[in-house]
Amino acid sequence: MIKYKLICKQCNFTFDSWFSSSRDFEKLKKKELINCHNCNSIKVEKTLMAPRVISKNFDNNLKKDLKKYKNIKNKILEYQKFIRKNFEYVGKNFTYEARAIHYNNKKINKGIYGSASINDLKELKEEGIDAQIVPWIDDNKN
Ligand SMILES: [Zn+2]
């Protein structure tokens, strides 16, 4: 994004406007789409001030967001590692296995994890079976 200081040749009003590029400015000007914010005239020119480009803050925020996302992702991956190690994967049989444990007192050494639909989870909950939804990242490493 480039910020231009524009001046109206009609009323001498100056104002700031953002454009995606200098070419974008020229294009809009050619199409007479840049109007004075004061008198609506299209006789608007760039002032000689050098264009400013959004830089530091924008980049920093983006970096912060990426870092935050990376931290969350790492936490989820850690959690997944923990679950893989301590729980038994039952895949799509999750609801079946969860019920077996709940109703038949099936003995298990490990908790189970697997996939279930939201509806399945709702039903389980209604039956008093506690299942947690865990955010899951499919990593292709395994
Ligand atoms: Zn004007």
Q: Residues 8-29: what's their mean pLDDT?
A: 91
How far does the centroid of ligand 1 lie from the alpha carbon of residue 55, in Å? 30
User: Do residues 102 and 129 lie in contact, with contact meaning Cβ atoms separated by under 8 Å?
Assistant: yes
Q: 9 C-alpha vs ligand 1 centroid, how far in Å? A: 7
Helix (H, G, I), strand (E, B) or coil at 46: strand
Architecture of domain 1-48: Single Sheet (2.20)
CA of 27 to the centre of ligand 1 (A): 20
Ligand 1 centroid to 29 CA: how many Å? 15
Phi, then psi, of 31 in degrees rounded to 5: -80, 5
How far is 35 from 26, CA to CA, in rounded Å? 13
Please give the pLDDT value at position 139: 61
pLDDT surpassing 70 at residue 142: no
d(CA 80, CA 58): 33
Find tokens 């109007």 and name the residue.
Answer: 35
Residues 102/128, Cβ–Cβ less than 8 Å: yes
Q: Where in the chain is the domain with CATH 2.20.28?
A: 1-48
pLDDT tens across 83-110, in order?
Answer: 888 888 888 898 888 888 888 877 777 8
- pLDDT of 30-64, one tens digit each? 999 999 999 999 999 988 655 555 566 667 777 88
Q: Which amino acid is at 42?
A: I
pTM of the model: 0.48
